[in-house]
Structure 1
């Protein structure tokens, strides 16, 4: 289980590295604030497929992909 406050920094890091795409919800439900929506980007899909075959790659392949903002 992740400690409280861990999920959004992880999502932001993955977005900044080009593995996730993020957008705001178009039309939120009445009485609810808009939500951020996330989905795997093309590079994220490729990385997830590689990690599914060889899980040890998860620790070694994400860090070098940091992109300039």
Structure 2
């Protein structure tokens, strides 16, 4: 949800994975599988950087599709569930 929310702030803008990871506080091992799944589900467009600076390989860029914008809006409209409190009562005798 955090990735969709970050991308929804400016859905037409292409974003780098590293930049998104920094913004939402996810490391590459968590972020990139999320980006791949969102792309596979048609919620993100993915593209290679066309003009990388000299000496650096091209990077992947991501942005929301129309379906991704709709999903982000839908998720933003749903109120967050409160965390459930741990149970404090004791169980019956074993």
Q: Which among 51, 57, 60 is matched to residue 36 of structure 1? A: 60
Which consecutive residues of structure 2, in runs of 5 or more, have no partner in the other structure?
1-24, 81-94
4+ aligned runs moved over 6 Å, structure 1 = none
Normalised TM-score (structure 2)? 0.54
Normalised TM-score (structure 1)? 0.72
State the number of aligned residues: 56
Structure 1 residues 4 and 36, CA gap change in structure 2 (3 angstroms): closer
1:11-69 Cα offsets, whole Å, 9 max, x none, are: 0000000000000001101111100000001100000011111155xxxxxxxxxxxxx
Give the CA RMSD over aligned residues: 1.6
Please tell me whether residue 25 in structure 1 is matched to residue 49 in structure 2.
yes
Which consecutive residues of structure 1, in runs of 5 or more, have no partner in the other structure?
57-69
